[in-house]
Amino acid sequence: MTATTKPHEMLAEMLSAKLEAVDALIRERMASENAPRIPEVTAHLVGAGGKRIRPMLTLASARLMGYEGPHDEKLAATVEFIHTATLLHDDVVDESKQRRGRPTANLLWDNKSSVLVGDYLFARSFQLMVETDSLRVLSILSNAAATIAEGEVLQLSAMSDLATSEDTYVKIVRGKTAALFSAATEVGGVIAGATEAEVQALWTYGDALGIAFQMADDVIDWMEGTGKGYGDDFRECKLTLPMIRAIAGSPEEWGFWARTIGKGQQQEGDLEHVAALLAQTGALDSTRQTALDWAGKARAALRDLPEDPIREVLHDLADYVVARLK
């Protein structure tokens, strides 16, 4: 480990034995004797090497609270299955062509497989949860699954809707990202038998981390030289927090917003005009600050949890997800 090791890499090192067991479990459980096509589809995604943030959050939370049983691995695999299932379904919803630098499953295998294999992974994730014998874990994760689906539907209906509020934005962000982060940390505490206050702190950490992470992404959409498409959210008429605040801060531009986002009629020069409005209204800076505040909330939640090297890395992780904004 060097001084420049990133927090998620540090976590991966600290949890390496557990993560290997989780990977083995994932490979074992995604296999289907009856439908061999299933692992072909999922291997494509699981093998694409995401950062495994969500399963690490579960493993880290359980270890931080002193858990020594076998269920943390099952729950970490559960969380990764739910995440993978939502990615497969998102590909259909977004009609996206690339994910993690590779062609998405729906282009390789078509929409049908994406839908059905996603369903299969959801079902498999519930089978894994049942094996933990904890109704509370099942309740937390089925609530998270409902919040995820609601958030995605909400994002669809908020598309192009200039009346989208900051409150709606936060609900969408919880659905897209934070609900699974907070469920991942919460169940880690629950199986470890943590106190209610500790479970609550773990939930708050995961929730705030997820919101900070997604909000940072929405700011980065407007930062040049990040390797991501500049202004993609505007092109897709997605109302992220920077845009919600820019719209609120520029009532004289109502006609412009109604045309470009309400009707989706965009022309040359519009993107530059939005960038100017984001700066003039201070919308981008204030969103950056809000993301930093959420990261601070995540760090603060850790105070109520035991001192431990794992806690230090979780602390650094909260800084790391917003580090790109500074």
- Cα–Cα distance for residue pair 232/221, rounded to 1 Å: 7
Span from 96-104, 126-134, 264-272, 287-295 in contact with its own copies (CB under 8 A) = 126-134
Determine, following the binding rule CB under 8 A, whether residue 138 of this chain makes contact with its own copies: yes
Span from 53-61, 151-159, 188-196, 197-205 in contact with its own copies (CB under 8 A) = 151-159
Q: What is the greatest pairwise CA distance in the chain?
A: 62
Nearest-approach distance from CB 245 to its own copies, in angstroms: 21
Nearest-approach distance from CB 119 to its own copies, in angstroms: 4
Span from 7-15, 131-139, 256-264, 270-278 in contact with its own copies (CB under 8 A) = 131-139
- Cα–Cα distance for residue pair 23/144, rounded to 1 Å: 22
Q: Scanning residues 234 to 293, which ones bind its own copies (CB under 8 A)?
A: none
- Residue in 25, 26, 38, 314 binding its own copies, rule: CB under 8 A: 38
Its sign, for the CA torsion 121, 127, 132, 135, is positive
Nearest-approach distance from CB 298 to its own copies, in angstroms: 23
Residues that contact its own copies, how many (by CB under 8 A): 44
Kindly write down the DSSP assignment for every residue of 109-156, as one continuous string.
Answer: HHHHHHHHHHHHHHHHHHHHHHTTT-HHHHHHHHHHHHHHHHHHHHHH
> Which pairing describes strands 102-103 and 98-99: parallel, antiparallel, or unpaired?
antiparallel
Its sign, for the CA torsion 193, 78, 214, 239, is negative
Residues that bind its own copies (CB under 8 A): 32, 34-38, 86, 89, 92-93, 111-113, 115-120, 122-124, 126-127, 129-130, 133, 135, 138-139, 142-143, 145-146, 148-154, 156-157, 171
